[in-house]
Amino acid sequence: MKKVAILQSNYIPWRGYFDLINYVDEFIIYDDVQYTKRDWRNRNLIKTKNGLIWLTIPVEVKGNYHQKIKDTKIVDNFWQKKHLDSIKLNYSKAKNFDLIYSLLEPLYRKKSFMFLSECNLIFLNKINKFLNIKTIISKSSDFIIEGDKNKRLVSLVKKVNGDIYVSGPKAKNYIDEKLFEKNKLEIEWYDYSHLKEYDQLWGKFENFVSIIDLLMNKGISSKEYINFKKK
């Protein structure tokens, strides 16, 4: 039984994103839907001694409210140095700083990125490799799909010969379970409660921060904090 998950492209996502990728057989990046402003598409949180801060990639959205994620362009590349400096400043005392900084630095020093989704995918693939996550990664824009939200999801799962659609519990608000049943597809509601706490810098534990936080604090052991659930 092939399990498939579908989520929008995110910048250096939280560990739950990778936990879900690891759990399924194929993970589809939903990149041909509308870009949402002030969301996780182009930004994420890291911890600092003064609290949480956003690392944000500047993108071009003004006056173009219906643009798709895959078509969203990065405005400039000054952000790369800024983000790298912020990571260095706030995680230099982490136990695994040298290891993870050497992993991330070449990505941030890469030549300029044109599109947000391209940038997000490069970071995603690099971190997956470090965590030894071997799930197939594909993009919704690689397939021809039509219809409303539910029909598109059903179509994507069927395009990759999936049997089970794995989704976060928030999707219960809009998922048409009868449509999936009609198409002989099961739905599995994914529960992130198995994710346990780990030692962090800077005060109380914060769960919903970028995966970078886990990597800096746990290094190679990071996979022990995302790989509890099995396919």
pLDDT of residue 4: 98
CA 143 centroid distance within chain: 20
CA distance 56 to 41: 9
Burial 180-191 (b: 16+ CB within 10 A, else e): beeeebebeebe
pLDDT of residue 140: 96
Q: Which two tokens stand for residue 57?
A: 């990639």
* pLDDT, the chain, mean: 94
CA distance 131 to 190: 20
pLDDT of residue 76: 87
Give the chain's residues under pLDDT 50. Answer: none
CB count within 10 Å of CB 161 equals 10
Which are the contacts of 189, defined by CB distance < 8 A and separation ≥ 6? 167, 168, 169, 172
pLDDT of residue 173: 86
Instruction: Tell me the pTM.
Output: 0.94
pLDDT of residue 230: 59
pLDDT of residue 133: 95
